[in-house]
Amino acid sequence: YEDNEPTVLPMMVNYVLSRPGYAGAPISTVLDGVIGRLLDMSFAAVDTTTITLTHCIHDLVSHPPDMYAHPIMEQAREALAANNGVWSAAALSSLTLLDSFIKESQRLHPIGQLLSQRKILDPAGVTLMPAEGFEGAKPVHVPYGAVTQMPLWGIHVDGGVYESPLLFKGWRFVEDRVVSSQPSDRFLSFGHGKHACPGRHLALVVVKLFLLEFLERFEYKEVERPKDWQMGFMFNAVPDMKTNVWIRPRKKETGVAA
């Protein structure tokens, strides 16, 4: 770290000490506060990354290998060879096919229908102006104290935003200049604005490397795409944890991830 920037743990300790009830408290109390923050981070990072990865695997094995798996690996091998056999951030970013596939999987299988709950704190409220393409719509005034959320699912399956929105198209975003780690007002799986998921870049690196290794080392039998579990209104796209995926090691295991 440059300029003595703090690492995550000191930042957490400083954050906990700044909260009411922790300044001057016994060390055991401070430790409990830090542990609580670590558990919050683990829940936010591990569960969401695992869910995204599982959805990607379900979407892979529910299509013939020639349709998505083989083109993804062909592009990956070319990128790896051009980067002296080592994955870098730039090399991973060049995988437009894999990036598009992951983004499409996230689009159709988001964490929930709504996202980013916010409360209006301005006593005068907030007036929302029509977005681009909706200039004819009237402004909407949201009063003080109201709670708002983004209609993630509604936007992701809106026919005015996406062509054939309920159809999985793995290459839908290949020509899109907005990469999967960059939130936008039409792709909200990581939130939007200054409060977008801060760990999205690392999460996508993990998902990409895992999928590349999976595809390089294993072959699969095509199966019907399992239906997602519905867990209430908020969490409506949890992958089926009881489904069977048929895979076996390839005869030649060369490995693609480094």
Q: Is there a single domain that holds both residue 159 and residue 145?
A: no
Could you tell me if 124 and 225 lie in one domain? no
* 62 in a structural domain: yes
Cα–Cα distance between 104 and 176 in angstroms, integer? Answer: 12
Domain assignment present for residue 105? The answer is yes
Q: Are residues 229 and 185 in the same domain?
A: yes
Nearest Cα to Cα of residue 37 among 50, 18, 57, 55: 18
Q: Within this chain, do residues 136 and 231 fall inside the same structural domain, yes or no?
A: no
Whether 35 is covered by a domain: the verdict is: yes
Give me the residue label for tokens 């595809």. 215
Nearest to 116 by CA among 155, 166, 160: 155
Q: Number of helices (H) and strands (E), helices first, in the chain?
A: 8, 8
Same-domain status, 92 and 37? yes
Say what the pLDDT of residue 1 is: 40
Looking at the structure, tell me whether residues 95 and 200 fall in a common domain.
yes
Q: Which of 80, 50, 76, 93 is nearest to 215 (CA)?
A: 76
φ and ψ at residue 249, rounded to 5 degrees: -65, 145
Structural domains of the chain, count: 2
**Per the domain annotation, does 101 fall within a domain?**
yes
| HSE, side-chain direction, 13 A CA sphere, residue 150 | 22
State both tokens at 231.
């867990």
Give a yes or no: residue 195 inside a domain. Answer: yes
Q: Which amino acid is at 242?
A: K
Residue 258: the pLDDT is 40
Residues 68 and 164 in one domain: yes
Compute φ and ψ for 236, nearest 5 degrees: -115, 10
Q: Do 80 and 146 have their domain in common? A: no
Residues 137, 245, single domain; the answer is no
DSSP 8-state class, residue 226: P
Half-sphere exposure in the Cβ direction for 151 (13 Å, CA):
4
pLDDT of 257: 46
Q: Is residue 19 part of a domain?
A: yes
pLDDT of residue 250: 86
Domain range spanning residue 132? 115-150
Whether residue 127 sits in one domain with residue 26: no
List, in sequence order, every residue forming a beta bridge with 184; answer none if it has no partner: 187
pLDDT along the chain (258 residues), means of 10: 64 88 90 88 82 94 96 96 93 95 94 85 91 78 93 90 94 78 80 80 92 94 88 71 88 54
Q: What is the pLDDT of residue 232?
A: 66
Domain limit, last residue, from 104, 123, 150: 150
